[in-house]
Amino acid sequence: MRKAQGAPPGEASAIEPPPEPASKSPDRHRRRGSWLWVLLGLWLVLAGGVALAISGSFDDPPSVELLGRDGPVNSGATDTRNIDANNSPSFVQNPVRRGNLAVANRIDTPFFGCALNVSFDGGANWARSAIPAPKGEEAKCFAPDVAFTGDGTLHLSFVTLKGRGNVPNAVWVSSSTDGGRTLGKPVKVAGPLAFQVRLAPDPTRPKRLYMTWLKGADVAPLQFTGTNNPIEAIRSDDGGDTWTEPMRVSEGKRRRVVTPAPVVGPKGELYVLFLDLGQDRLDYAAGHAGRGGPPTAGALSSCSPARLTGDRSGPSPPWTAACARSTASSSSSPRPHPWRSTTTGASTPPFTTTAQATPT
């Protein structure tokens, strides 16, 4: 054993390792490992990006195919001399014959009316269908809606008007088994003051059809005379020949509700989305005198409450989008289950009785 330099005589000392070169950093090994981890992370990110690009290259790219020419639906749309005010359209597709489309809309001027146009080539060509007028009513079809049930039958709802204004006098449904070319004799479904009538077919049952509306108690020009005008719903299980008695959808505490929009879920449950104006008397009672104001900020959420805060010359009461949900009926029972409360608390009784509709 070699003595260490400077050790006392007669004592041995452990051999010390030769000194490291001055240029070597004492933490060189640790920093080399850090750089390796950084390089490995960058490689993984790059590899992930390449894999994502490769996988995306095998996806089908989105495509839009235009069938026929891009043209108007109503025949007078390109005529500068035509002053018919066609608006508020409803658009549906036949689930049995995909190229069969239908558009229903109201006409505001020069006279109140409504129109139905159908296509059998995916919208390339359109033809207007005649809407039969109910007997005993003024020939004023207004505010139509349209729906195809699962068996391919087209159903057109509309109201007839009474007097010089656009006050609804009755609700009617006319059906077609030839895609809308011809409509059958209208069936009376409801009486006066049914506003904003909408149809909703049940995708699980070909003959089942729902209808909703805003039921007014009394009206004055451009307004209701009071509050608590509810949203109601009815149901037909035989393709519109007979309907249940109207049942209330909106809660009693919701005093100012408007614009019901029904849709049926995959299990036969009915959803009705509507707008609760809260304490907004200005819009509900037409205090704006027909003049528009600043837009209300916010967005509506499907079947869940969504508050809208706007400013119309001061603090504006909140509006709420509310959704009422009914459960599906069992196939063994003719009576549907009650409505279930949603996050808005809306609840109504079940459809309990069936009333025979009155054909004309």
Cis amide leading into 295 (omega within 30): no
Give yes or no for residue 2 having a pLDDT over 70. no
User: Phi and psi (nearest 5°) for 36?
Assistant: -65, -40
User: Phi and psi (nearest 5°) for 213?
Assistant: -160, 170
Per-residue pLDDT at 95: 95
Give me the amino acid identity at 328. Answer: A
**Mean pLDDT over residues 270-290, rounded?**
76
**Mean pLDDT over residues 223-233, rounded?**
89
Q: Dig out the tokens for 88 from the structure.
A: 């508020």
pLDDT band at 156 (very low <50, low <70, confident <90, very high): very high
**Mean pLDDT over residues 17-23, rounded?**
43
Comparing 62-66, 150-154, 351-355, which segment has the lowest mean pLDDT?
351-355
Per-residue pLDDT at 18: 43
Task: Output the pTM of the full model.
Answer: 0.69
For residues 167 and 220, the answer to whether their CB atoms sit within 8 Å is: no
Number of H helices, E strands in the chain: 2, 22
Q: What is the helix (H) or strand (E) element at residue 322, kind and residue range? A: strand 319-326
More confident position, 148 or 267:
148
The residue ranges of every structural domain in the chain are 67-192, 233-288+298-360
Which CATH number is associated with domain 67-192? 2.115.10.20
- In residues, how long is the chain? 360
**Mean pLDDT over residues 253-260, rounded?**
89
d(CA 142, CA 224): 19
